[in-house]
Amino acid sequence: MKPERIHQITEVFGISRDIPLNYVERDTVDNTFVHNLKRGKHIVIFGSSKQGKTSLRKKQLKEKEYILIQCSNRNDIREINSNILKRAGYEITVANKTSVSGKAKVVATFKALFGMFDAGAEIEGTKASEKTTAPIELDIEDVNDVIEALKIINFNKYIILEDFHYLKTEVQRDFAVMLKAYHEISKLIFVIVGVWLEENRLIVYNGDLTGRVVTVNADKWSDEELRQVISEGSALLNIKFNDDFINKLIINAFESIYIVQEACYQACIKEKVEETQEHFIEIGNQGDIESIIKSIVNQQSGRYNSFITHFADGFQTTELEMYKWLLYPILKCETSELENGIRFSKIRETIAIKHPKEMELNPGNITQALKNCSGLQVKKNITPIVLDYDQTNLRLNVVDRGFIIWLRYQDKKELLELAGLPDIID
């Protein structure tokens, strides 16, 4: 049967800026997110990189319903609050006065344009007009001032903080404190998106957020959900993947939606399927899937090798070289174990056995390094981050599933040498 509509492969499989046409709603993710949007609580979407966090909020929220703040390691509280006000419609200029902290206050002026273009312009018979509020002088670091400015303009959109994990740890902690005020004295709702696997990350930073924040774990993809993604994508292209191909892909993808999507894309390209087929065909050879997955993760070899060397160097040279040694249990561990994270007790035991300064090593040294491992990666511009420490469950997690798969195809001895650990091979 001839298809009713032609779809390009880039609209279906692979990584795209837009929501893929084969987007599958997950009951424990999409429904949880939508339900909690109505509860008046802040929402944290978390999970590994490339697991569908951004697609989730794009799918379930219309652009007109939110403003988006893209976080970076250069942002502090002043810049975050300033970005919020700018995207809400304010123009920000520096004032002559200073705040209690000694930093310059700002003047915020809101301009709402009714119609189109500049005030007084006439477009197809419609006269545009501009409404300007009186300038407000405020302390950009004071959450009360920011809330008041947003109340004045009746701002009622969701505020999304994307890539929250890129903020320095102290900035994340400070903002977690501010979130309580946003909940208590306003109706503003924040949607925070971050790469980590710790469900209560913000509550660890500020215990007062208990009951004021709900979390959505976007990391998990069941085998059934992954099969549905493949099935719906196949239907859009009028093709079918071989059952053995699908089974082997699901087994070797380690629940990575990115690997599944990209592997299907590569298999289609190999069979010269670039758009919806006029006649139904079956593609995919299970013998190809291993080489396809290996090819996908090997594209990241430069980034992963760079991660190992930069992470091993730590913030600075120290006697214990803790960051280099944190890589030891990661590189020695079986890939199947890495999927669930490595417990602190095992990290401590594994390092203690081989560390040349075992007598000087104590749990505090390891804990401090683990707590700062995300911050180190942010400082070294490792994007997306590969490791993150779950302080609640005391686990070091690999939050880039591609890295886990990549390790399967590497010579572990070479990686240990790359990390500066050449003499500890068992």
Among 263, 221, 269, 222, which residue's Cα sits nearest to residue 246? 263
The crossing angle, in degrees rounded to 10, of helices 143-152 and 77-88 is: 0
- d(C-alpha 305, C-alpha 124), whole Å: 59
Count CB neighbours of 341 within 10 A. 21
Please report the pLDDT score of residue 284 as a whole number: 84
Tell me: pLDDT of 123 over 60.
Answer: no
Asked if residue 233 belongs to a domain, the reply is: yes
Whether 50 and 105 share a structural domain: yes
177's tokens = 């404190």
pLDDT of residue 105: 85
Q: Which of 254, 273, 298 is the last residue of a domain?
A: 298
Shared domain check, 200 and 52: yes
Which position has the token pair 């090819």? 295
User: For residue 286, what pLDDT is reported?
Assistant: 64
Residue 125 — very low, low, confident or very high, per pLDDT cuts 50/70/90?
very low
Tell whether the model's pLDDT for residue 42 goes beyond 70. yes
Q: Is residue 172 part of a domain?
A: yes
Predicted pLDDT at 112: 64
Cis peptide before 384 (omega within 30 of 0): yes
Among 145, 138, 140, 137, CA closest to 181: 145
What's the average model confidence in pLDDT over 218-243?
96
72 within a domain of the structure (yes/no): yes
Q: Identify whether 134 is part of a domain.
A: yes
Please give the structure tokens belonging to residue 239.
């093709």
Mean pLDDT, the chain, rounded, equals 89
- Residue 424 in any domain: the answer is no
Compare 333 and 229 and report the one with higher pLDDT: 229
Of 298, 315, 333, which one is at a domain's C-terminal end? Answer: 298
Lowest mean pLDDT segment, chosen from 3-7, 105-109, 415-419: 3-7
Residue 1 lies in a domain: no
Structure tokens at 409: 């195809």
Query: Hey, what amino acid is at 278?
Result: E
Q: What is the pLDDT of residue 131?
A: 53
Supply the pLDDT for residue 116.
Answer: 32
d(CA 71, CA 56): 18
Beta carbons of 51 and 258 less than 8 angstroms apart = yes
Looking at the structure, tell me whether residues 286 and 149 fall in a common domain. no
Q: What is the mean pLDDT of residues 71-97?
A: 91
Dihedrals phi, psi of 173, to nearest 5 degrees: -65, -45
Contacts of 39 (CB under 8 A, 6+ apart): 214
Q: Which residues pair with 161 in a beta bridge?
A: 69, 192
Which of 189, 217, 245 is a domain's end point?
A: 217
Question: Are the beta carbons of 129 and 107 closer than 8 angstroms?
Answer: no
* Domains of the chain: total: 3
- Is pLDDT above 80 for 209? yes
- Check which CATH number belongs to the domain holding 287 and give it: 1.10.8
**Mean pLDDT calculated for residue range 271-281:** 94
Cross-strand bridge partners of residue 346:
none
pLDDT band per the 50, 70, 90 thresholds, residue 124: very low
Q: Is 217 helix (H, G, I), strand (E, B) or coil?
A: strand
- Exposure letters 383-399 (e unless 16+ CB within 10 A, then b): bbbbbbbbbeeebbbbb
240 and 190 together in one domain: no
Claim to verify: residue 205 and residue 178 sit in the same structural domain: yes
Cβ neighbours of 87 (radius 10 Å) = 16
Q: What is the CATH number of the domain that holds 117?
A: 3.40.50.300
Same structural domain, 325 and 178 = no
Q: What is the extent of the structural domain holding 46?
A: 27-217
- Would the pLDDT of 83 be above 90? yes
pTM score, whole prediction: 0.89
For 378, left (φ over 0), alpha (ψ -120 to 50), or beta? alpha
Q: Note whether 64 and 202 are same-domain residues.
A: yes
Residue 140: pLDDT band (50, 70, 90) is: very high
Determine which helix (DSSP H) or strand (DSSP E) holds 205, and give its type and residue range: helix 201-205
Residue 241 sits in the same domain as residue 333: no
Same domain, 315 and 167: no
Same domain for 273 and 138, yes or no, is no
Average pLDDT of the segment spanning 397-413: 94
Range in 76-85, 122-131, 167-176, 317-326 the model is least confident about: 122-131
Q: Tell me: pLDDT of 111 over 90.
A: no
Question: Does residue 140 share a domain with residue 48?
Answer: yes
